[in-house]
Amino acid sequence: MTHPAPGSSGPARMHEVTDENVRLIDRVLDFSRRRLLASEVPLDKPMSERELSRLVNERISEEGMGADRALSVFEHILSPACISTDHPQYLAFIPSAPTKAAQAFDMAVSATALYGGSWMEGSGVVHAENETLAWLAGEFGLPAGAGGVFVQGGTIGNLSALVAARDDAKRRRRAAGGSAPDSWIVVCSEEAHSSIASAAAVMDVEVVTVPTDEDGQLRGAHVRPALAEHGDAVFAVVATAGSTNFGIVDDLRSVADLKREFDFWFHVDGAYGLAAMLSPIARHRFAGVEDADSLIVDPHKWLYTPFDSCALLYRTPEAGRLAHTQHAAYLDTLNEAPEWNPSDYAIQLTRRARGLPLWFSLSTYGAGAYRAAIGQALTVAHDIAAEIASRPELRLVRDPQLSVVVFERIGWEAADYAAWSDRLLEAQTAFVTPSSHRGRSNLRFAVLNPRTTLAQLTVLLDTLR
């Protein structure tokens, strides 16, 4: 039996340093360089499935289409059919604005084929990620020894934290000689992110939602009756540090204070908003987060890293490890070692070292640059809110706490908002999607990108006259 030489058409040609692969890598890096260094990011817009099929007009085949054709299809057809979340006038949902350092290093993470699941295979990257997590924990006021793991996103982070919370409740209940309730309960506000209900469905636990005040904040006074009514069945209370729709920060202090009277795990969902705590402008809003048993924040939102990344932090990491460590014969060599294995702290085993782009960007620019960028977004959001309040044809739905500004065009219905949004995107001006609150349609600006200016937003308001 003969084996193909490097560079031949055998199986190894996909992995060898052949002339073909050198050209492929050069072309991909050239495209990446041009996109990274573009002075103006394209906004772009979606296409229909029918139109994409017509333009691509090729399927994956036994022979392949070749790197040149594949890259051309991506650059000229597929990529322009996606809205660029890092465009300064991407103002819908929660934008992303990764730094140049984070974007570039994300490529390096892939290029080095690093594995981030265990200390044995990735001690260097685990060390860097843990340094970053420790820095975040310190910023949020958690005690020394707090730690966790970077996971895919806020949904996985919230689910992993709640699984750890229930496991902790079960362990303590067994140790005290008690029995499990008929149904475990997690308490949250009616404004909590949809991932909390999703996590509860996966875990087969009950969600008890409690009302908020008119300002949308969850307070301890709202939570207390639920704790008194459901007692030991409540294993966790979830508060939000920056809701997606309004950017509202719950009264974390008053919720945390209930732990003096009731036994529950306090989880803070700060996927979008908790990063604002890095700025002195907003830091005061998060009093009480330091008492959380777990929390999350998404670096791919307001900490300027590429998708996808969520920092999950435990006050006592051992609770996460006990809940999530997987056991199998082939894992014994890892589980019997004392080192820190990131895969032990969330619902995952195989994992990309997704915390490295944040580590590299923070190490490159320094925390001060992050504080300034976050502070700028907060300032722009509050300034445009003041401008909205000054215009008679507009109504500010609520004064912004963080960087989400929700407002109405007086006299408009849902169809008017949708038509306006479609015109902006078609003209490649901005991406602003309609939203709603209590049955009323509205618009919202989500300002995270430090390249988003007050002047740009003012121009958009002018189109609403």
pLDDT tens for residues 366-402? 999 999 999 999 999 999 999 999 999 999 999 999 9
pLDDT tens for residues 301-324? 999 999 999 999 999 999 999 999
Q: What is the mean pLDDT of residues 30-49?
A: 96
Are residues 134 and 62 part of one domain?
A: no
- Final residue of a domain: which of 73, 89, 105? 89
pLDDT tens for residues 134-147? 999 999 999 999 99
Q: Residue 7: pLDDT above 80? A: no
Are residues 234 and 259 part of one domain?
A: yes
Are residues 329 and 252 part of one domain?
A: yes
Are residues 247 and 186 part of one domain?
A: yes
Are residues 345 and 409 part of one domain?
A: no
pLDDT tens for residues 183-236? 999 999 999 999 999 999 999 999 999 999 889 999 999 999 999 999 999 999
Are residues 335 and 195 part of one domain?
A: yes
96 belongs to a structural domain: no
Cβ atoms of residues 197 and 159 within 8 Å? no
Sole residue written with tokens 């609520």: 398
Could you count the other beta carbons within 10 Å of the beta carbon of residue 71?
Answer: 16
Domain that holds residue 456: 367-462
Alpha carbon distance 362, 159 (integer Å)? 27
pLDDT tens for residues 399-421? 999 999 999 999 999 999 999 99
- E strands within 327-454? 394-396, 404-409, 434-437, 440-446
437 belongs to a structural domain: yes
The reported pLDDT for the residue numbered 9 is 59
CA angle 257, 261, 264 (to 5 degrees): 80
Helix-then-strand count for the chain, H and E: 16, 11
Q: Residue 431 sits in a domain of what CATH number?
A: 3.90.1150.10
pLDDT tens for residues 322-368? 999 999 988 888 888 889 999 999 999 999 999 999 999 999 999 99
For the chain, what is the mean pLDDT?
A: 95
Are residues 371 and 394 part of one domain?
A: yes
Confidence of residue 6 (pLDDT cuts 50, 70, 90): very low
Alpha carbon distance 29, 64 (integer Å)? 21
Distance between alpha carbon 73 and the CA centroid of its chain, in Å? Answer: 29
- Final residue of a domain: which of 323, 344, 360? 360
277 belongs to a structural domain: yes
Q: Residue 158 sits in a domain of what CATH number?
A: 3.40.640.10
Cβ atoms of residues 381 and 404 within 8 Å? yes
Q: What is the mean pLDDT of residues 234-250?
A: 97
Number of domains forming the structure of the chain: 3
The stretches of 176-286 forming alpha helices (DSSP H) are: 194-203, 220-230, 252-257
- In the chain, % of residues over pLDDT 70: 98
Phi, psi torsion values for 23, nearest 5 degrees:
-65, -40
Are residues 343 and 227 part of one domain?
A: yes
137 belongs to a structural domain: yes
Q: What is the mean pLDDT of residues 166-181?
A: 94
